[in-house]
Structure formats: structure tokens, C-alpha cells
Amino acid sequence: RKAKEEKGTEMSIEDLTVNEKTRDIQRAGQMLELIPREYDLLVHLLKHQQQVLTRDQLLTAVWGFDYFGDTNVVDVYIRY
């Protein structure tokens, strides 16, 4: 696995590149379209590589501190 590279607002790992400024996502040269929550989750995971994050940590960071619902939503979005 190639280490994360950060160039200003661009992050990449292996064949995945995310530009935070433009919100563009490319994988193997193909543009991807994600809904806002999927995008936020992906960016959070990229920023916290090499860290084990709990569902609660992901819920707080991506869905917000006041999220009230099933923690299973994290599993669903990870599968996406």
C-alpha cells in the first residue's frame, strides 16, 4: 500500500485521489461521484489512515455530535 500523499488540498492513496478544494474524486483515472455523506466519510478516513476508528468516532466526526440513530449507518456507508 502506497503511503498517503498530501499536496495542499489533494490527498491520494494508491490509485485514489481526492481534491478537497474541488471535491473531485478519481480512482484509476475515472471520476467518481459520491453523495455528500459518502464524500465526508472518505475524506475523514483518508485523513486518519493508520488509525483504528470506532463507529462512535466516525458518527461524531461525519454525522455530527448530535446524531441520533442506529450506529449501523456507518457499516452501510463503508460498504458503499
List the CATH number of the domain containing 66.
Answer: 1.10.10.10
Residue 55: exposed, middle, or buried by beta-carbon count in 10 A (0-12, 13-18, 19+)?
A: middle
Question: Model pTM?
Answer: 0.81
| Count of domains observed in the chain | 1
Reported confidence tier of residue 71, pLDDT bands at 50, 70, 90: confident
Range of the domain at 13: 5-79
pLDDT tens digits for range 13-51: 999 999 999 999 999 999 999 999 999 999 999 999 999
Helix extents (H) in 1-80: 36-47, 55-58, 72-79
Rounded distance, CA 49 to CA 17, Å? Answer: 14
Cell of 4: 498517503
